[in-house]
Each structure stands twice: as structure tokens, then as C-alpha cells.
């Protein structure tokens, strides 16, 4: 169907596969019509350095979400939150440049979800159940690298939270975050 209608399917790297797993699957599929819709930040929740995610998936990327992420420690691991572009720790300029080098017409879309931070409970047994097989290994070095990222990239301002906000206030904050992100992209990424 994809070949017949010349449609490219980009599967987002979501929180179910580490990038090496997804790349191996795409290599087996071996179709120019099936690739990755790269999400810049999702694999951090799987204790993966964003540079490694990009390196593993770059050959397969057909489009990309652009977003920025911030992290902070909490008692069971770390909190992960989308923040306006330029306010997080991702190397946005480097990631965009790598994708544009691969394809000068690479499509980008902004993903800016304003919500409470996601809890990534890496210090609990429940978190590790997902990685307890040969298909989804999580090396200790990867955990150490992500914890180093958390330690070295504490946010300058508190992570966004929406609990207790009225729907109107949530919409206003979301709108503000999207506007900040668009302005940053125009000034710093596509100037």
C-alpha cells in the first residue's frame, strides 16, 4: 500500500523501544517507505542519551518532532518534562543540523506538551521489568550517562506543572510555551 501510493510511514520512537531495537527492526523491514518520525526526547525515559538515539536512528528518519526537554532528580529517579525550545538540555542546533544534512527538506513539526513532568522511576524494580530480557537490554553505562545528564542539567526554573490550574490557565500556558518555541526556532534554528 505504501509503495503503491508512494507514502512514507514514519514510526515515532516512543517509550517502548530503545533506538538500537527500532533500528534493527527497520533494517529487517528494509523498505524505503518505512522509517522513523524522530522524537528528540522520548528515549531519555529509556535511559538513552539523545545523541545515541539520533546516531542509531538517523539513517531511517523521514520526519521529526522538534522539542526540548528538562530533567530534575526525584526520590525514585528523575522527572522528565517538555519545555519551550532553548530552555532544556537537548542540543537542538546539532540535532537539526544532522537531520538537515541527511535531507535538506527534512520535515519538522513542533511537539510542545505542557503537563506535569513524567516520573522516570529508575531506582524502582518496576521500572526495570521492561528491560528484563535479551531484546531490551539496558546497560548500566546508559543509566549512568542519563543520571549524569540529570545531574549536570538541573533546570534554571522549576519544571512546568499543570496540576491545580484551571483549563483556561493551562491553555494560556500551553499557548505561551508554543509561541516561545516558535520564536526560538525562527531566531536560533532557521535564521
The predicted-structure confidence for 44-90, as pLDDT tens digits, reads as follows 999 999 999 999 999 999 999 999 999 999 999 999 999 999 999 99
Q: Which residues contact 97 (CB under 8 A, 6 or more apart)?
A: none
pLDDT exceeds 90 at position 9: no
Q: Assess contact for 87 and 150: CB atoms under 8 A.
A: no
Looking at 8-139, list the stretches that DSSP marks H as alpha helix, in order from N- to C-terminal side.
Answer: 19-29, 50-57, 92-102, 125-128
pLDDT exceeds 70 at position 103: yes
pLDDT at position 12 is 95
**Mean of pLDDT values over 2-20:** 88
Q: Which stretch of DSSP H or E encloses residue 141?
A: helix 140-152
Return the SS3 of 159.
coil
pLDDT exceeds 70 at position 136: no
pLDDT at position 132 is 72
pLDDT exceeds 70 at position 184: yes
**Mean of pLDDT values over 33-39:** 95
pLDDT at position 130 is 79
Confidence of residue 22 (pLDDT cuts 50, 70, 90): very high
What is the chain's mean pLDDT, rounded? 94
- Residue 170 burial by Cβ neighbours in a 10 Å radius (0-12, 13-18, 19+): middle
pLDDT at position 138 is 84
pLDDT at position 5 is 83
pLDDT exceeds 70 at position 135: no
Amino acid at each position: 500500500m505504501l509503495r503503491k501510493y508512494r507514502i512514507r510511514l514514519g514510526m515515532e520512537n516512543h517509550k517502548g523501544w530503545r533506538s538500537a531495537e527500532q533500528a534493527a527492526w527497520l533494517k529487517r523491514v528494509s523498505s524505503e517507505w518505512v522509517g522513523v518520525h524522530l522524537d528528540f526526547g522520548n528515549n531519555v525515559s529509556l535511559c538513552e542519551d539523545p545523541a545515541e538515539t539520533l546516531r542509531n536512528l538517523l539513517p531511517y528518519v523521514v520526519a521529526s518532532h522538534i522539542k526540548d526537554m528538562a530533567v530534575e532528580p526525584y526520590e525514585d529517579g528523575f522527572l522528565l518534562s517538555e519545555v519551550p525550545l532553548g530552555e532544556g538540555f537537548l542540543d537542538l542546533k546539532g540535532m537539526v543540523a544532522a537531520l538537515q544534512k541527511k535531507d535538506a527538506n527534512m520535515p519538522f513539526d513542533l511537539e510542545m506538551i505542557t503537563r506535569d513532568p513524567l516520573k522516570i522511576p529508575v531506582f524502582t524494580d518496576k521500572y526495570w521489568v521492561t528491560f528484563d530480557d535479551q531484546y531490551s537490554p539496558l546497560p548500566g553505562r546508559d543509566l549512568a550517562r542519563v543520571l549524569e545528564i540529570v545531574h549536570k542539567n538541573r533546570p534554571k526554573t522549576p519544571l512546568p506543572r499543570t496540576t491545580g490550574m484551571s483549563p483556561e490557565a493551562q491553555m494560556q500556558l500551553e499557548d505561551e510555551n508554543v509561541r516561545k518555541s516558535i520564536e526560538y526556532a525562527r531566531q536560533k534554528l532557521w535564521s
